[in-house]
Structure 1
């Protein structure tokens, strides 16, 4: 095989390159940074909603944990593991449970969201929920095992439903919380 000196240059000049043909997996038209008022407003509103008595149901999804995980994934400069820890402590005080139980769960989920962020940004919301399901289950399992050890009794497996419902709500949270950041597509007839 004889290599001609000009063959690579002509191949590059013709514009045929395998790297240029690659497209991102998620090419949605948003990815604008969220406004800080919107980020903190959603966290505070969901925190206030978490005070309602529907959370007494053991299988209820933890919506505050879901929103904090979402913002830790998408806005880690504004909502961090420290934020998750503080809101977890506030939920421990509100629930009158073991101090640090929810704080541990919230911090573990925030860490999981940050650790998986490079991978999660490549996928849609359903695949993100599948990736985050073990994170939600692990954090709930860790806190319930600690609670069972300190209380001396096993509380059952109902906590698993809460983690499953929380992961199932991820696509809904992703759609709702990304809505203000979406810009109108140029092909949209209503765009200006």
Structure 2
């Protein structure tokens, strides 16, 4: 769990993440692990990863951290509901959470910087939610391989 999160965090330090339409894969990975391992990936870890990205981007300190903490809180709050669905339906349930959390951080950022950034952030956050099934499938792949090995299926 920590290996995948740190690897994606290192990829998030590359400059391509600053394009408005780029999905935030680190947000998806943190939300995924907070859903599947809530005792190991909590709001403190998400907040710390967000702070490191805030420092790296030299933007208002705490905006990414707030976004990550809100999404982790929401995924842990929706844990029972999300557990009933497959990855695609989970993504559909996470759309309001991701968009709402991002909207809160955009409002706070607009207040702090006295400028409305527009709606250019919306396609990026929708692409972030669209990455949920793919990231979830990739992160659950080792678990499924171990399940298949235990049953004797080749």
Residue in 2 aligned with 1:44?
6
Gaps of 5+ in 1: 1-38
More helix as a share of residues: 2
Q: Is the partner of 1:184 in helix, strand or coil?
A: helix
1:90 aligns with 2:85: no
Please report how far the alpha carbon of residue 163 of structure 1 lies from its aligned counterpart in structure 2 after TM superposition.
1.1
Structure 2 Cα separation of the partners of residues 105 and 95 of structure 1:
15
Q: Give the root-mean-square deviation of aligned CA atoms.
A: 1.2
Number of residue pairs the alignment of both structures matches: 151
Pick the aligned partner of 2:19 from 31, 35, 57.
Answer: 57
Runs of 4+ in 1 over 4 A off after TM superposition: none
1:137 aligns with 2:99: yes
TM-score (norm 1): 0.76
Please report how far the alpha carbon of residue 187 of structure 1 lies from its aligned counterpart in structure 2 after TM superposition.
8.1
Structure 2 Cα separation of the partners of residues 122 and 40 of structure 1:
25
Residue in 2 aligned with 1:153?
115
Bigger radius of gyration, 1 or 2? 1
Residue in 2 aligned with 1:172?
134
Q: Is the partner of 2:38 in helix, strand or coil?
A: coil
1:184 aligns with 2:127: no
Q: Is the partner of 2:148 in helix, strand or coil?
A: coil
1:105 aligns with 2:58: no
Structure 1 Cα separation of the partners of residues 135 and 109 of structure 2:
29
Structure 2 Cα separation of the partners of residues 153 and 125 of structure 1:
37
